[in-house]
Amino acid sequence: MADQEEKEEQKLLAEWKRKKGGFRASMFIFVLSALDNMGFVANMVSLVLYFYGVMHFDLSSSANTLTNFMGSTFLLSLVGGFISDTYLNRFSTCLLFGSLEVMALAMLSVQAGSRHLHPEACGKSSCVKGGIAVMLYTSLCLLALGVGGVRGSMTAFGADQFDDKDPSEAKALASFFNWLLMSSTLGAITGVTAVVWVSTQKAWHWGFFIITIASSIGFITLAIGKPFYRIKTPGDSPILRILQVLVVAFKNRKLSLPESHQELYEISDKDAAVEKIAHTNQIRFLDKAAIVSEKSKADRWKVCTVTQVEEVKILIRMLPIVGSTIIMNTCLAQLQTFSVQQGNVMNLKLGSLTVPAPSIPVIPLVFITILVPIYELFFVPFARKITNHPSGITQLQRVGVGLVLSAISMAVAAIVEVKRRERGRKDPSNPISLFWLSFQYAIFGVADMFTLVGLLEFFYREAPSGMKSLSTSLTWLSMSLGYFLSTVFVNLINGVTKRVSPSKQGWLHGFDLNHNNLNLFYWFLAILSCINFFNYIFWASRYKYKSDQLHPPPPPAAAATNHNKPLDQVPLRKMEIN
């Protein structure tokens, strides 16, 4: 009888999977990714010129304002990830923060189109003040919150459409991350060509208006796809679960660990509603949170399960990976700030066409568009036969390739800047072509293809069941810290070199790139990236994947009897079967 019921449950689950999720559901998410990224990337590469030309910031202030905005955007993805893991489902979180994003873009459109909302040039590092400053910074803050919230939930929501415990869907999940990059890249190409051209050659407010409409259509498309989605309901607060382990481990700090980890607290397989994680000998201090005493069995704040402790260990082991990718994102920030400013003083002609400087990133985007299908359709199946890994190579190997390429990109950027500056000083009326910048952009584009997708898949697959959104947001946290670090480096390098320079001017001072030392700043980042790569190798080679620790998940019938167990870990996330 029990076998018959289990077969019926498996049949219902298979039928539900056939109707919900998979690539059919992902198509709606790909549309949102393309349309939303169109505006996001257009802003990312052109706002530095908007700040410089319309809002009258100087070179370094324009760069720092953009990097602070981008850093805040990616940092706020943690808010979106936390809310979608704990309070709202990921679908609702995307729509909520999407509405804030559209509102902010509309505000930017209004300000860009109203001359009385533009400051007068004043010759200072920043001329924005009063009501103009309030409107500019309010719209930027809302935009950062909206975009960050969407970034923090959309990737995990798309990945939720696949079951990584099912071998066939596990392969599809690996493909999903590649095609998500492909869709966002196609949107980005439109953004850095059509939208940037409209903004810089016609009017800034028309560019913002196009982005507003495109994002609105993207979120409407996401809403239309609701009948096809696998929507997971929020579970226990991941922050609360982490705090419980840390607090209980601290309370038990004076207790001795038992000789065998089998004596630590864990619920039985038949009572487990979520995947159990085997005990590891790393970070053993946290094991004290699972020490059992007579008084502890009725209170989660007095004892935690081994699985809960191992979840926290996984997050801690992830942190060095996050830290090792920050420098790469600092390099990315330069391609969106100083490299765009370089392009603005170069020869922008391509035959009879004038190419806006912010459109130069179309070159790496085209590279990615070509390489993603090749990587997915040829390299992954070939590598899969050799490694037997669903993704062909491990996520951490993929990230490592990207880190090497990012260092090369900065070295190339330094060499190109020397050539550009020499021509700019000798013959300012005949600058070198904008397309000299394509080398550094192309190399970094390939680096981004490896690293970004590798990190997203790594954090999603490695995350504990109830922390998928929060974990994938660690990718954006790395980007956030990279942008903030860029601001720190710019200010620090300017300050130090100003003191030691005979001219009393920093490497990145003022409004004239021809009299700066941007090439030396690029070399600084290239050397730092090389050092960082060896730091990454140290941590990545020691990382132990979660798949090596998992116990087999319990059958659905066993999980269903779990709700009233003392101290049980109720299902962290359940599917809404609608």
pLDDT of 4 over the 70 cut: no
In a domain, 386, yes or no: yes
Reduce the DSSP state of residue 231 to 3 states and report it.
strand
Q: Which two tokens stand for residue 259?
A: 């000789």
Q: Which two tokens stand for residue 75?
A: 């940092």
pLDDT of 560 over the 50 cut: no
**pLDDT score recorded for residue 552:** 47
Tell me how far apart the alpha carbons of residues 154 and 480 are, in angstroms, rounded to a whole number. Answer: 17
Return all residues near 450 (Cβ < 8 A) that are at least 6 apart: 398, 399, 401, 402, 405
**pLDDT score recorded for residue 311:** 86
Please count the other Cβ atoms lying within 10 Å of the Cβ belonging to residue 548. Answer: 9
Question: Is 158:171 a contact under the CB 8 Å cutoff?
Answer: no
CA angle at residue 67 from 64 to 70, to 5 degrees? 150
Q: Examine the domain organization and report whether 304 and 192 are in the same domain.
A: no
Q: Examine the domain organization and report whether 287 and 332 are in the same domain.
A: no
In a domain, 12, yes or no: no
Q: Which two tokens stand for residue 209?
A: 């208006």
Q: Examine the domain organization and report whether 472 and 540 are in the same domain.
A: yes
Question: Is 563:272 a contact under the CB 8 Å cutoff?
Answer: no
**pLDDT score recorded for residue 543:** 86
Question: Is 183:51 a contact under the CB 8 Å cutoff?
Answer: no
Question: Is 195:188 a contact under the CB 8 Å cutoff?
Answer: no
pLDDT tens string 311-338: 889 888 889 999 999 999 999 888 877 7
Mean pLDDT within 143-171: 86
Q: Examine the domain organization and report whether 155 and 165 are in the same domain.
A: yes
Query: Hey, CA dihedral for 38, 44, 46, 47, is it positive or negative?
Result: positive
In a domain, 87, yes or no: yes
Q: Examine the domain organization and report whether 437 and 560 are in the same domain.
A: no
Question: Is 501:105 a contact under the CB 8 Å cutoff?
Answer: no
In a domain, 444, yes or no: yes
Mean pLDDT within 535-544: 90
Please count the other Cβ atoms lying within 10 Å of the Cβ belonging to residue 401. Answer: 16
Tell me how far the alpha carbon of residue 309 is from its chain's centroid: 26
Please count the other Cβ atoms lying within 10 Å of the Cβ belonging to residue 319. Answer: 12
Reduce the DSSP state of residue 433 to 3 states and report it.
strand
Q: Examine the domain organization and report whether 293 and 427 are in the same domain.
A: no
Please count the other Cβ atoms lying within 10 Å of the Cβ belonging to residue 505. Answer: 15
Nearest one of 474, 461, 465, 428 to 545, comparing CA atoms: 461
401 phi/psi in degrees, rounded to 5: -60, -45
Can you say whether residue 121 is alpha, beta or left, with left for phi > 0 and alpha for psi between -120 and 50 degrees?
A: beta
CATH number for the domain spanning 383: value is 1.20.1250.20
Reduce the DSSP state of residue 467 to 3 states and report it.
helix
Reduce the DSSP state of residue 277 to 3 states and report it.
strand
Return all residues near 402 (Cβ < 8 A) that are at least 6 apart: 328, 446, 447, 448, 449, 450, 451, 452, 454
In a domain, 2, yes or no: no
Q: Examine the domain organization and report whether 134 and 224 are in the same domain.
A: yes
Please count the other Cβ atoms lying within 10 Å of the Cβ belonging to residue 356. Answer: 22
pLDDT of 577 over the 80 cut: no
In a domain, 188, yes or no: yes
**In which residue are the tokens 């069995």 written?**
297
Domain count across the chain: 2
Q: Examine the domain organization and report whether 277 and 226 are in the same domain.
A: no
Tell me how far apart the alpha carbons of residues 535 and 483 are, in angstroms, rounded to a whole number. Answer: 20
pLDDT of 421 over the 90 cut: no
What does DSSP assign to residue 379? I
Q: Examine the domain organization and report whether 411 and 483 are in the same domain.
A: yes
Tell me how far apart the alpha carbons of residues 3 and 9 are, in angstroms, rounded to a whole number. Answer: 10
The answer to which of 31-40, 360-369, 461-470, 504-513 has the lowest mean pLDDT is 504-513
Q: Examine the domain organization and report whether 322 and 301 are in the same domain.
A: no
Q: Examine the domain organization and report whether 288 and 435 are in the same domain.
A: no
Q: Examine the domain organization and report whether 64 and 150 are in the same domain.
A: yes
Mean residue pLDDT of the chain comes to 82
pLDDT tens string 20-53: 788 889 999 999 999 999 999 888 878 888 888 8
Structural domain including 184 reads: 18-234+312-548
Global confidence as pTM: 0.76
For the CA atoms of 265, 266, 268, 271, the dihedral, rounded to the nearest 10 degrees, stands at 120
Mean pLDDT within 241-265: 87
In a domain, 6, yes or no: no
In a domain, 4, yes or no: no
Q: Where are the alpha helices (DSSP H) in 2-129?
A: 2-19, 22-53, 59-75, 77-86, 90-113
Rounded to a whole number of angstroms, the CA Rg of the chain reads: 25
Nearest one of 440, 435, 382 to 407, comparing CA atoms: 440
